[in-house]
Amino acid sequence: AIDCALFDVDLVRVSPSMPWASDTRGRSLHIITVTEGSAELTCGDERVQVGKFETALVAGSAGEYQVSAIDKRVGLLRATVPA
């Protein structure tokens, strides 16, 4: 992870058998960039596919969301504003 006063960046690995869940907690947006493979981001009834080197924004008001792997291995970066 990268931590500084302005933002945090986490490296996350996702596989078909291990989806990853997160929560904005109503605080600030999350920026998800896929660095390897393809993934599906699900938040409530909304779903979006995100491919390698593509970015999705999760609104701070979104709350809980999940990232599932479409490919065997998926790497992503999540950038957030520190609490």
pTM of this structure: 0.90
Structure tokens at 17: 């058998």
Contact yes or no for 14/22 (Cβ under 8 A) = no
Give the integer Cα–Cα distance in Å for 35 and 63. Answer: 23
Q: Is 35 helix (H, G, I), strand (E, B) or coil?
A: strand
Residue 59 CB contacts under 8 Å (≥ 6 apart), including other chains: 24, 29
Quick: pLDDT tens for 27-54: 999 999 999 999 999 999 999 999 999 9
Length of the chain equals 83
Q: Which residue has the tokens 């393809």?
A: 38
